[in-house]
């Protein structure tokens, strides 16, 4: 065997070894890339799911707050209507219709009754019933 044939044989083996190493490196790179893609996909799904949950929670909070504000406005309007009804009632009641006797040292005299006191009492006692009548 000549030196040239030995060199050719060594070069062939080195080329084969080089091709084998390159092939193994490509396979390892493919495995690493696949693993990285799977990990990236997993992280992506986790982030998307977390953001969806945050979005849904925010959306529900907005809906609940909007409903609460709506109920507050409706309640305020109902209260205003009830107040208006009592205001009308007060204007219809003649001041001299309800009288009480005031006892003075030398005489007893009739004086007008405080209508507001009785209207407040009637309102507290009957507000629910009035609301049922007004808002059926």
The secondary structure of residue 136, as a DSSP letter, is: -
pLDDT above 90 (res 130): no
- Which of the pair, 118 or 64, is modelled with greater confidence? 64
Strand spans (E) along the chain: 99-103, 108-112
- Which of the pair, 127 or 97, is modelled with greater confidence? 127
What pTM does this model have?
Answer: 0.53
Angle of the 3-92 helix axis to the 115-134 helix axis, nearest 10: 130
Task: Give per-residue pLDDT as tens, 77-123.
Answer: 988 988 888 888 777 776 666 777 778 888 888 777 777 777 787 87
pLDDT reported for residue 59: 96
User: What is the rounded average pLDDT of the residues 123-128?
Assistant: 80
The CA radius of gyration of the chain, in Å to the nearest whole number, is 46
pLDDT above 80 (res 76): yes
């Amino acid at each position: 065997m000549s030196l040239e044939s030995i060199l050719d044989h060594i070069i062939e083996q080195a080329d084969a070894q080089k091709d084998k190493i390159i092939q193994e490196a490509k396979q390892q790179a493919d495995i690493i890339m696949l693993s990285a893609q799977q990990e990236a996909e997993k992280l992506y799904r986790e982030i998307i799911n977390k953001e969806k949950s945050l979005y849904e929670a925010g959306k529900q909070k907005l809906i609940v707050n909007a409903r609460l504000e709506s109920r507050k406005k409706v309640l305020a309007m109902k209260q205003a209507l009830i107040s208006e009804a009592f205001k009308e009632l007060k204007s219809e009641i003649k001041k001299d219709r309800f009288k009480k006797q005031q006892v003075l040292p030398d005489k007893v005299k009739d004086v007008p009754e405080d209508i507001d006191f009785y209207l407040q009492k009637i309102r507290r006692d009957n507000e629910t019933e009035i609301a049922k009548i007004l808002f059926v």
